[in-house]
Structure 1
Amino acid sequence: MFNSYFPRWRQVPGGSQGLVVQPDERLSWTQSIAMGAQHVVAMFGSTILAPLLMGFDTNVAILMSGIGTLVFFLFVGGRVPSYLGSSFAFIGGVIAVTGYAGAGANGNIGLALGAIIACGLVYTLIGCLVWWLNVRSGGGAGWIDALMPPVVTGAIVAVIGLNLAPIAAKGAMGGSTFDALMALVTVLCVGGVAVYARGTMQRLLILVGLLLACALYAVLTNGLGFGRPIDFSAVSAAAWLGLPRFQSPVFSVHAMSVIVPVAVILVAENLGHIKAVSAMTGKNLDVYLGRAFVGDGVATMISGAFGGTGVTTYAENIGVMTVTRIYSTLVFVIAAVVAILLGFSPKFGALIQTIPGPVLGGMSVVVFGLIAIAGARIWVVNQVDFSDNRNLIVAAVTLILGAGNFSLQFGAFRLDGIGTATFGSIILYALLKLGHGRGPKKA
């Protein structure tokens, strides 16, 4: 039974240009470790930024992201490549229930943690329902395809990248012309590695590009006196090993009423992730949808129980998979183990803080852009017909709602741009489908 639940992970050569490594395949262990490190690099900017905005401990967030990724891996049987990191969907609710002022530690973090656990429980129950429906249908997921055809899923994935564009642009611009130029240099570093490097180095373009950009930044600032130099004093003072600051949850009905509805957003994010990976790998992963929801929900509950943020499948890592075309799930196990080890290192937490803002801003421009292109790729691969007015309207409206961060408020529940675009796309397609074939449809 064990062998039937987990793949056998057949090893494939990793040096061939254009090779696609499927979820049930693997590279050599040396290459897999390097790819796992690259996924850690891809996720830690957002995984650390989210807790900083909410007053959570960043080392706890890193630790819980690794544990959550392993939990997800177990529930999907190692068949869906995904990394779980801090979810930005919780930020508004956490700030609302804790009154966090935006500096230092969050004194009311317990209230948020209890609500995050409750949110994870609701998410898990939704996943159990979807899992049961998949089992009842013999493993098929035709109802999902009818609900979310390629025009919808492509628009949703593209919206994730476009919605993050202002964050990337703001980070890239920084506070000076020098910062903006260094962000552009970072983009060129990644682009240069992607185009001109070969073999393993090309597949590690995110990691190599980041290191190269940081080295150039250090030369220009610490060496030549331009901009703000990198300060390593906090790294020197920090211990190599140590426990992060774990926190205990406090359960409040009011806090739960504000944060629990975020489960709907997490469902939408995970659904878009599964669809994107399915399109990229050419494998139908809908049968694992319920198990993916449950894994994400359980991971969120565990994270909240120890003082971490709610977690979600990470779009940043989709960007890495898009450009490397390596989808081996073992890579994410390695990334999770690395994250867990780093979570117990205060020195690593201090080192993260030394990465220059302009470099992270430039990396965001690249990675978030790759996410948007992954959505467009879904349309191309599935040959979506945009001469059909229904497809045209659904895609157009979805992109603008998401890119413009169109938000809706329902009492204490707020639906931000990605959520509004996701559910708006599904509902709009369903409504337009009712009249499909009753009149002219071509543009």
Structure 2
Amino acid sequence: MLKHVGDWFIDIFTSEAEKLIDILKERRESRILIRAPNYWWLHGLPARSPSTVTAAVDGGGGIQPLAFGWSVYIARAYGYVEGGEPERGLELRIFPVRDTRVLDALRSWLEHRVATTLAARLGASDTILMDGSLWVTVSAAFASLARLASGNVESIAGVYTALFSAYLLAEIVKFVETAQSRRIVVAYVSKDHGFRAYKEKVLLDFVAEKTPVLGDLVNRALEWYPLALRDQLIAARRLVPAEYRPVFDAALDPSYRDALFLADVVGGNAVGYTWILNMPPSRRVAKILQKGGIRTLVERAIAKAETLLGDEPEVEELRSIGYRLMSELDRLPRIKMLYVKLSPEDYPLLVEVPGSPGDYYSPGRLLEEPGNDAEHVVALLKSQYAGPSYYNIPLIAAHINATFTGSQLDQYMALLEQLANARGVSIRFARRRAVWGILSRGRHKVK
């Protein structure tokens, strides 16, 4: 019988560790990032402005498979209002596919419809908080339309996803314009995020300042997100002075994300918030604009839907919203992002606020000092923070009321079955439980 023995490699590890420490001492890479400018970080959190109403929106959904590949899609959204009546919305659809991307687009559209209704009833200086990332939501919707337009869809689920994505984009424009016309503050809040946009902007600008020959290349690389011209940047590494190469490498490292960058530069125990970063569209959207613009994208998506679905009602839906979308997408707002660290022990929150209508397509990343609206949002988030598990009380309240449980979905399906039987319609469930998943806080995550 074999007996447990000590680690046979500890002596080798010790020898190699000493060599590694000597290398770190020589190169001092661990100190390089401290030299990067941190003017964009504001220590501390502002006090909350005079009392205003906060509303928060979240959604949930599920899929119930039926016989022969059909499925019932159910999505609901809940708009929590401090001291007031909530807003509710629910959509029930049936399609001959089972795809969570269809449900995700349907739910996001419904959430923004509820948000638009809230914006129409709240007053000036009130706030609406949305769960998730606005940049990711808009980019994913464009991607769904582009996949359909190019014919790069795996099934007809791509048509339904594109349909609800079109509805979603139009509703975002309506929501933001309604809120801004009534002087209501809008903020999208994400606890789970993976952007590299802030790190790339700060570090590449810093390197370009120290290496002027890279200035034009860096500006062109930062025009879109994710970073463009990465191969050219890597090839230009030899032009960077040796002492700044670790900074340049960190800027180009895809695994080095904004949250880690913040901790390295301002300290893991820091509390505060960043300047605002004006975000450009995704590279996919940039390519769409280069290949004929929004009108061409929508027209091709409609044509492909007609090819795949023929005269089914969803084609007419897409055609109707599509022609409206061509003009409405010209009014998409610029997306402005900042990070807020509310506690030394917690992960930074990503906060996005809509900018001016029509500026969404502007290339480049621009840093600017936070204005009154941003400071209002930061102060609001501070006042509603109750620890890592309850990072925002209104959003948690919306989440709890919107999320499905398995038993609730079973109850909904039992009621649907009873109502169908009463009308002489038989519904054959493939399973009683929606094994495709009960979605609540799932969001596209930027890599």
**TM-score > 0.5, shorter chain as reference:** no
**What TM-score do you get using the length of structure 1 for normalisation?**
0.25
Structure number, greater radius of gyration: 2
Higher helix share: 1
Higher relative contact order (CA 8 A, sep 6+): 1
